[in-house]
Amino acid sequence: MIEIIYLLFQYMSNALYIIVFLNMMLHLFENDKKINTFLYYALPIILFWALYYFPEYALKHKTIPYYYYFSVLMSVCLIWIFVFLRNRYIIEKLVYYLYYFTVYKCIVFFLGGFLYDHEPTMDHYLYLTLDITTALVPTFTLIYFRKFCLKYPLHNVLTYLKKYQVALLMYCPVSIFVTFQLADPSLTIPHAIFVSVSAFLLVFNLPVFYFLYAKIGENNEARIKLGRAYAETSAQLSRYKYAILIEEQAKKERHELKNSYFYIQTLLKEQKYDQIDAFLSKHIGELSDNVSALYTNNTLIDYILNTKLALAQKHHIKTYTEILIPEKLSINEETFCTILLNLLDNAIEASVKEKKPDLQIYMNQKNQYLVCCIKNKVSYNVHEVNPQFHTSKDNASNHGLGMKIIRRAVKEAGGIFDTYMESGYFVASILFPIQS
């Protein structure tokens, strides 16, 4: 009975490996519509069974070399993805193909190294049971690998890589696969040759990985610089917008003031002093009501603070400010505004998600430091839940640079940046040295 189950399981597990791979490729690449979905999965499985089991049943070969199994499995899958998926993505398909079957081969050799070595001395039924049990591991591993590839698709990025970079990307799975293939017990390769060839193949992975990680570091550095440049450009643009706004408001006020003077002059000529008193009282009251904006003697900082506070009020965020900064900052104005913009954006974005949002902004001079402290109320410990401050937005690759930009800008300005939790508030605190 167990031998029948074992035989059926072999049929089904091999079919599942093919289905998982073809399903992954179908999601990553478009079907050319040459075949319907059922036949897309069914025909390669039937073809594999026919090619793999033909020597065992028709030619009476009881022991089929393991390399023959991989040869048939990989050949069928390779032919299928090139025939029935869009052919223009040849290199992109090869990358997924190599990584998929290298993962599979590594898992099989990891699990089967001990099992197959003891097959001659092990009880036959125990061997069958263990072989069935261990076969579940590569199945689940390949399913999770499929999810990983679908979550982080690579073929769109490959179009921006140079040919030698793609070759380096493919070298790693090829070298590992060939190494494990040389270790196949069905191949009679002297141990010394196996060790020498494997070492030669694998040693080149070290500079490959070094090069790839160096490139990743360069790309991250470029993203941070680009994000900061964008923030500084936004700050400069805000300055011009605020200058235009002030100029238009001044023109409007001059026009209204001229009309007011003319009206007061008319009332004076007619000696209507009560109306003059009522008019002045009304306008003085309106001016008092309108004096709610923040003024720091720095037009750019004023614009940023007032704009972000208006945005906070729009989202019904309770705000508290205590701001007293020097008229002339010793640090670069664009750098300071870049930091301020990112801190306020982060605080407002986090406050919107809270039931009772609360935002506090404190800026003042203490000793020889300008202290900037922004607090936003949170219902959880940010450092415990999200210590690396990863973004929760869908497109993570284009977001989540705020904290990195802030840290880099503060460091270049010679300041000290720290974040901590205090009485239910997430606090971002910065100390800038003030040059006397």
Measured distance CA(172)–CA(202) in Å, rounded = 8
> Taking 90 as the threshold, does the pLDDT of residue 78 lie above it?
yes
Q: Is the pLDDT of residue 142 over 80?
A: yes
Q: Kindly list the distances between the CA atom of residue 77 and the CA atoms of 31, 34, 46, in Å, as whole numbers in the listed order.
A: 15, 16, 12
- Whole-angstrom CA distances from 356 to 319, 351, 374, 376, 378 are 11, 8, 17, 11, 9
The structure tokens listed for 74 are 């990989």
- Among the residue ranges 85-94, 129-138, 231-240, the one predicted with the least confidence is 231-240
| pLDDT of the residue at 98 | 93
Q: Which of 36-40, 253-257, 428-432 has the lowest mean pLDDT?
A: 253-257
Q: Residue 128 has what pLDDT?
A: 73
- Give kind and range of the element (H or E) at residue 374: strand 369-377
Assign 245 a pLDDT band (cuts: 50, 70, 90).
low
Whole-prediction pTM: 0.58
What is the mean pLDDT of the segment spanning 233-253? 67
pLDDT higher than 50, residue 335: yes
Closest C-alpha to 340, from 372, 383, 294: 372
Residue 269, exposed/middle/buried by CB under 10 A (0-12, 13-18, 19+)?
exposed
Computed over every residue of the chain, the mean pLDDT equals 79
Q: Which of 370, 383, 387 is CA-nearest to residue 429?
A: 370
Give the 3-state secondary structure of residue 306. helix
Q: Read off φ and ψ for residue 160, nearest 5 degrees.
A: -95, 0
Q: What is the average per-residue pLDDT within 349-367? A: 88
pLDDT of 391 > 70? The answer is: no
Assign 1 a pLDDT band (cuts: 50, 70, 90): low
> Confidence class of residue 395 from pLDDT cuts 50, 70 and 90?
very low
Tokens of 157: 């990025």
> Collapsing DSSP states into helix, strand and coil, what is residue 237?
helix
Kindly tell me if the per-residue pLDDT of 424 is higher than 50.
yes
Q: Which of 375, 353, 364, 362 is nearest to 422 (CA)?
A: 375
Side-chain half-sphere exposure of 369, counting CA atoms within 13 A: 12
In CATH, the number for domain 226-433 is 3.30.565.10
What is the pLDDT averaged over residues 355-370?
A: 87
- 174 confidence band (pLDDT: 50, 70, 90): very high
Please state, in angstroms and as integers, the Cα–Cα distance from residue 391 to each residue in 232, 294, 306, 330, 342, following that order: 21, 30, 26, 32, 13
Cβ neighbours for 383, distance < 8 A, ≥ 6 positions apart: 419, 420, 421
Quote the pLDDT of residue 393: 47
Lowest average pLDDT, out of 123-127, 311-315, 346-350, goes to 123-127
Q: What are the Cα distances from residue 205, in Å, to 175, 176, 208, 211, 215?
A: 8, 9, 5, 10, 15
Give the DSSP per-residue string, 310-341: HHHHHTT-EEEEEE---SS-SS-HHHHHHHHH
pLDDT band at 399 (very low <50, low <70, confident <90, very high): very low
The mean per-residue pLDDT over the stretch 263-284 comes to 76
Determine which helix (DSSP H) or strand (DSSP E) holds 362, and give its type and residue range.
Answer: strand 358-366
Which whole number is the average pLDDT over 278-298? 64
Q: What percent of the chain has pLDDT over 70?
A: 80
Q: Find the length of the chain.
A: 436
Range(s) for CATH 3.30.565.10 in the chain?
A: 226-433
Q: What is the pLDDT of residues 61-77, one digit of tens each?
A: 566 777 888 889 999 99
pLDDT band of residue 154 (cuts 50, 70, 90) is confident
| Confidence category of residue 189, pLDDT binned at 50, 70, 90 | confident
pLDDT of residue 116: 64
Say which range, 127-136, 146-155, 168-177, has the weakest mean pLDDT. 127-136
| Range in 38-52, 66-80, 317-331 the model is least confident about | 317-331
**Could you read off the pLDDT of 220-242 as tens digits, one per residue?**
777 777 666 666 666 666 666 66
> For residue 235, which amino acid is it?
A
Exposed, middle or buried, 109 (CB in 10 Å: 0-12/13-18/19+)?
middle
pLDDT at residue 166 in the model? 85
Sheet containing 318-323, strands listed edge to edge, beginning at the edge strand earlier in sequence: 318-323, 358-366, 369-377, 425-433, 416-422
CA dihedral (304, 310, 353, 381) in degrees, to 10, reads 50
**Per-residue confidence band for 33, with pLDDT thresholds at 50, 70 and 90:** low
* Position 138 confidence tier, pLDDT thresholds 50, 70, 90: confident
Tokens linked to 34: 């040459």
Which of the pair, 118 or 72, is modelled with greater confidence? 72
Mean local confidence (pLDDT), 316-340: 81
